[in-house]
Amino acid sequence: MAQRLMLRGADTYLGAVPNIRKATAEIRTDPGSFEVRVLEFHECLNTLSRVISSEVDRMNYFNVVALRNEFDGKHLPTPESIVRDRDRSAIAVAQDTFREIRQRTTQNEWQFPNEVEEQGKLTSGLLIEGYGLFLEKLYDNPRLSRLFVLAFEEVLWNEFQSSNLLRDVTPWMIEDRGEFARNVEKGLERLTP
């Protein structure tokens, strides 16, 4: 159900972006890769929720610790739980988030939706960056967006090495390697050409 709503939101709010329009058309023809990425996203989000509430090593989870400190008892709602619980305020924030993604993309603040043509990588970027923006809006805290992305990617790196999501975002992580926990940074340095 959440997958259909995400696609509808992408069509409604982001359909004017050529790469996104092309990606949603591909997904409707062959939804397999999209479904896998959404499943991996939910698994990583659930793992991040567990890691946030546990004692973790800052050498592996520096941004997770920072996100926990910023969250102060808030939770990470999954797209599925928002739809299942019919959380009207979160749904309204999600719609507003789609509008902001459109604005950031058309103003070229977010360049990747205009540049990335590969549907899987575009899906991964929009899921992760879009959810970070959603959290920022949901909790009215501008620090949450970037912190979420970095914390989520640390969990991907440490817990989901064989995931499609990690494969898709690794080039971006390499560019941002200095922002991650020390052990993640070291791993990314080994991948740097």
| pLDDT at residue 1, rounded to an integer | 65
Compute the distance between CA of residue 149 and CA of residue 175 in angstroms, rounded to an integer: 14
Q: Which residues of 145-177 are buried (b: 16+ CB within 10 A; e: fewer)?
A: bbbbbbbbbbbbbbbbeebbbbebbbebbeeeb
What is the band of 20 on the pLDDT scale with cuts at 50, 70, 90? very high
Neighbours of 4 (CB within 10 A): 10
189 touches 160 (CB < 8 A): no
pLDDT at 155: 97
Mean pLDDT calculated for residue range 143-167: 97
Give me the pLDDT at residue 66, please: 94
Please report where in the chains the tokens 């946030």 appear, as a residue. 52
Looking at the chain, list the stretches that DSSP marks H as alpha helix, in order from N- to C-terminal side.
2-14, 18-29, 32-52, 58-71, 79-84, 88-106, 112-115, 119-138, 144-159, 164-175, 182-191
Cα gap 146→154, rounded to integer Å: 12
Residue 39: the pLDDT is 94
pLDDT above 80 (res 156)? yes
Please name which of 16, 23, 25 lies closest in space to residue 107, comparing C-alpha atoms: 16
Q: Give the CB-side neighbour count of residue 71, counting CA atoms within 13 A.
A: 22
- Residue 174: the pLDDT is 97
Burial class (CB in 10 A: 0-12, 13-18, 19+), 18: exposed
Mean pLDDT of the chain: 93
Share of the chain above pLDDT 70, in %: 99
This prediction's pTM: 0.94
Closest CA to 147 of 111, 124, 179: 179
Q: What are the pLDDT digits (tens) for 54-109?
A: 888 889 999 999 999 988 777 788 888 887 878 788 889 999 999 999 999 999 99
Q: Any idea where the domains of the chain sit in the sequence?
A: 2-191
pLDDT at 106: 93
CA distance to 58, 135, 178, per residue, from 96 (Å): 34, 12, 31
Question: Looking at residue 46, what is its pLDDT?
Answer: 94
Over residues 42-55, the pLDDT tens digits come to: 999 999 999 998 88
